[in-house]
Amino acid sequence: MVSLNQLVIVCLTYVAGLFIVAFAAERAALRGHGDWLLRSPLVYTLSLSIYCTAWTFYGAVGYAARSGLEYVTIYLGPSLIMVAWWWLLRRLVRIGRAQRVTSIADLISSRFGKSNLLAIVVTTMAVIGVTPYIALQLQSVTLSLSIFAVSEAPADGAVPDLGSSALWVAVGLALFTVLFGTRNLNVNERHHGVVIAVAVEAVVKLVALLAVGIFVVWGLAGGIENTLARIDASDIGQWRVDGSRWAALTILAAAAFVCLPRMFQVMVVENDDERHLQIASWAFPLYLMLMSLFVVPIAVTGLDLLPPGSNPDLFVLSLPLSEGQNGLAMLSFLGGFSSATSMVIVATLALSTMVSNHIVMPIFLAVRQGGASQSGDVRNVVILARRLSILLIIGLGYSYYRASGGSGALAAIGLISFGGVAQFLPALLGGIFWRGATRAGALSGLATGFALWMFTMLLPSFGEGVALSAGIFAEGVLGLGWLRPQALFGIEGLDPTVHAVVWSLSLNALVFGLVSIFTFPDPVERLQGAQFVNVLDHSRPTRSWTASVAGSEELMIMAQRILGAREAQVFFRHWAQRQGGAGTLPEPTPDFVQALERELAGAVGAATAHAMVAQIVGGASVSVQDLLAVADESAQMLEYSSQLEAKSRELVETAAQLRAANEKLTQLSLQKDNFLSQISHELRTPMTSIRSFSEILRDTDRLSAEDKTRYASIIHTEALRLTRLLDDLLDLSVLENGQVTLNLARCTLGDVLDHAVTTAQTGATRPLTIERDPAEENLGFLTDPDRLAQVFINLVTNAQKYCVSAAPRLRISTARHDGWIDVIFLDNGAGIAPQDRALVFEKFTRLMRTGDAGDGAGLGLSICREIMTRLGGHIDLVEGGDGTAFRVRLPAGQAEAPKARVGDMQRVG
């Protein structure tokens, strides 16, 4: 016989062994050894087996003994889900990886716009939903202990108090989980120790159950055929499974398999490689099949061999015990113990992560003002929060166990838990397949489903008169017949479980869909929705830190507080080396910041880590602010690029102007050179003749008076010419320097022209016909008549000198428009070549002309231009026409109404 003390010793040894395995695994992972095992699909598949808890180990047999084959539905659902990995799990794993999801609450909140409210709701629901499950584990361990206690007890039946043993188991599990689950803080990275321990426990429970099964089939029943015959002969030998329960339970189990926080943890969060999924798609159903293979034989044999009234939930233990197989019984107990502990460890781990990340940390960060820039080590807070959450969750499980009286069948309790977490399914599926799903829809759907679940499943499970009075069971809330917890809307006769599942899930989905249709998602929801639904199209994580403005020092300070000084330094140094830098601080590249955020997410959860890094780095691409920032950034870039464009346009224009100026300068320089030689020539020619003739006058004594006069007049003429040249130069210089004073007077255009034409033609050698229209010229205005006449004289003289026509003719016409008076001088000469047009008004320009080139100094038009500028007008060369056309433009503001002056075309010969 096995004594309780022996049992406790074996258990402790087993737990110590698990610790060693977990410790060794973490050490190996730390050193980078053993990846072939730690990251193998085998370990992944085995870790999925935490689906099979003590409920499976003990409860399935009890379930089978009570209801026949119905128990198998609990395993058919998950098998289908695994086989359907291509549809659902692949997406979930991809999303989990792309969005760095740490829990199912994280996934749902992240999908619906990173809503913390939603995360809190899901976390709360998960805690409430999983509580019965933890109670179930307590109950099963307590029950299994009680079997040994009973068998050990003396005949007078002094059975030890079971309640206290449940408390001790709860305390033990809590301690175990606190030590085991919060050994390290990193959740986002894989929990190699826990995963390996879970895998070992998976093997233990499978081996234990198979051993009992083989013992029963071949040891007690005498082979397969006999066993099958015995099955058919038993009370459960007939197919009596209610169809609705069959279908509803299969769906419920499938839903729970996806939605259970601990399943999500091992299936999505701890997943290393997507390809493991496909291997698990057949390996895990195989595991489930093996686990449920011997359930019916054990149940039937137990019913046969054990005394009536034995608890069928414990056949797995009591059968070997009754046959005196103490070793097998011990193995079986260990199997059950493994199932319970692994489930509690992972479930509380997952739940405590959710609680600390979604409830405690946001509150803590909100209370401690300053967010990420506060001082102090956040790690202690996180670990403390997690440990307290673990205690809280296990405490809740224990309370539930006490409250429900510990009497319910294991299967019933398990189904209640399933029903609770299955409420996540509509929001989850809607979230990853339907972009139109909104936060409001998810919240209201979850609330509806959860309320119904509480009312129809959880509260009734305490029994009549505990949470709900008998009156409510019979007559409904407030006496409303359609609000009876097991006959909603007056539909009676349904199985309570089916009733609860159908109503809660269908109304949940209905409300979720309807509210989603009638509400609008905000931008972050839209963005996240698109990323979730289309995760397979672009599997790269779309978020990335865009800025490299983060200071490595600041990141280091923050990381030290969360990861611990040593770990943070190791991490930073590793990255610094990886980037090839010499120092201990790496460059804050997007890759590095992303890796750091992942590291932090393991400690404080994705949302919190994201927020903290965002405070320092200043924006990735997922919050509204970030979106706005992105929009701003692109707007800025647009603006910047248009500025650049404008600048480059400006540059091009400036370059063109520079080129033109340069060209002009070169020409001017050439002109100047020409002019200098010209002017020297101009000056020297008269000077030479003046000198020569004055020498003649001085040295020659016998000169006739006639010659003297002639020579003296030559000297005089040349001196005049010199004077004129110097006058011109002086005039131009004065005009250019703005030192000229204008003698403004009132005059008419006609008078000025008359004066100019007369002066210009005085002494002219060539005949020039000038055509004028006196009527046009009858414009009075205020100007400097002498200066204006100088311009006109110059133009007439030019025409006289340079017009190459045989019968030179100059037409002077006047026009008024747009506030200007235009006087156009058009001759019938050859015109000016295009390449010379830019130069005519420059100083010292003398165009190569036939005729009497060299007569002037080339200053006339320059002087004209300067005068016109002083007078407020300008002079330019007009294109087109045959000859040369100069336009003198005067401001008409000073013009007056024409005086009455009659005249016709005046011809001046």
Partner 1 sequence: MDALRVLPFLGLALWMVPLLWPLGPGPEGLPPGTGADTAPGMTTADALRYIFGVWLLLILSAAVLWRRTGDLPGPGEPVDPAAPAEGGG
Name the residues that contact partner 1, by CB under 8 A. Answer: 29-32, 68-69, 72, 76, 79-84, 86-87, 90, 94, 97-98, 184, 186, 189-190, 228-229, 231-243, 246-247, 250, 274-275, 277-279, 281-282, 285-286, 289, 293, 296, 536, 539-541, 567, 570-571, 574-575, 578, 591, 594-595, 598-599, 602
Q: Specify the residue, 215 or 571, whose C-beta has the smaller distance to partner 1.
A: 571
Closer residue to partner 1 in complex, CB, 491/570: 570
Q: Closest distance between partner 1 and the C-beta of residue 568, in Å?
A: 11
Q: Tell me how far, at minimum, the Cβ of 32 lies from partner 1, in Å.
A: 4
Chain-centroid distance of CA 735 in Å reads 68
How many CB atoms lie under 10 A from the CB of residue 853? 13
Of 129, 173, 166, nearest in space to 351 by CA: 129
Q: Rounding to the nearest 10 degrees, give the CA dihedral for residues 189, 193, 196, 199.
A: -90
Tell me the torsion sign for CA atoms 22, 45, 127, 414: negative
Q: Provide DSSP, 441-491.
A: HHHHHHHHHHHHHIIIIIHHHT-BTTTB-HHHHHH-GGG-TTEETTEETT-
Q: How far apart (Å, rounded) are the C-alpha atoms in residues 873 and 892? A: 9
Query: From the CB of residue 644, how many other CB atoms can be counted at a distance below 10 Å?
Result: 10
Residues 807 and 890: beta-carbon distance below 8 Å: no
**Nearer to partner 1 by C-beta: 83 or 908?**
83
Task: Please state the closest distance from residue 547 (CB atom) to partner 1, in A.
Answer: 17
Give least dist CB 649 to partner 1, A: 42
| Number of Cβ atoms within 10 Å of the Cβ of 638 | 10
Q: How far is the CB of 80 from partner 1 (least distance, A)?
A: 5
The smaller minimum CB distance to partner 1, of residues 186 and 769, is found at 186
Closest separation in Å from C-beta 420 to partner 1? 24
Residue 243 or 324: which CB sits closer to partner 1? 243
Closest CB 562 distance from partner 1, rounded Å: 13
For 527-674, list the strands marked E by DSSP: none
Residues in the chain: 909
Half-sphere exposure of 292 (CA within 13 A, CB side): 25
User: In this complex, which beta carbon is closest to partner 1, that of residue 102 or of residue 146?
Assistant: 102
Nearer to partner 1, 443 or 601 (CB): 601
Query: In this complex, which beta carbon is closest to partner 1, that of residue 94 or of residue 262?
Result: 94
Strand partners, 821: 816, 890
Burial 534-554 (b: 16+ CB within 10 A, else e): ebeeeeeebbebbbeebebee
Closest to 434 in 3D by CA, of 507, 506, 525, 537: 525
Q: Write the Ramachandran bin of 823: left for phi over 0, alpha for psi from -120 to 50, otherwise beta.
A: beta
Closest distance between partner 1 and the C-beta of residue 298, in Å? 13
Residues whose CB falls within 8 Å of the CB of residue 891, separated by 6 or more in sequence, listed in order: 819, 820, 821, 871, 872, 873
Q: Which two tokens stand for residue 770?
A: 């000038």
Nearest distance in Å: CB 147, partner 1: 26
Between 253 and 437, name the residue whose CB sits nearer to partner 1. Answer: 253
Task: Tell me the two tokens of residue 16.
Answer: 């110590």
Q: Which residues contact 291 (CB under 8 A, 6 or more apart)?
A: 49, 52, 56, 60, 75, 205, 206, 209
| Minimum distance from residue 412 beta carbon to partner 1 (Å) | 20
Report in angstroms how near the CB of residue 367 gets to partner 1 at its nearest. 29
Q: Which is nearer to partner 1, 274 or 707 (CB)?
A: 274
Question: Smallest gap, in angstroms, from Cβ of residue 662 to partner 1?
Answer: 55
Q: Which is nearer to partner 1, 185 or 500 (CB)?
A: 185
Q: Which is nearer to partner 1, 16 or 570 (CB)?
A: 570
Distance between CA atoms of 59 and 69, rounded to whole angstroms? 13
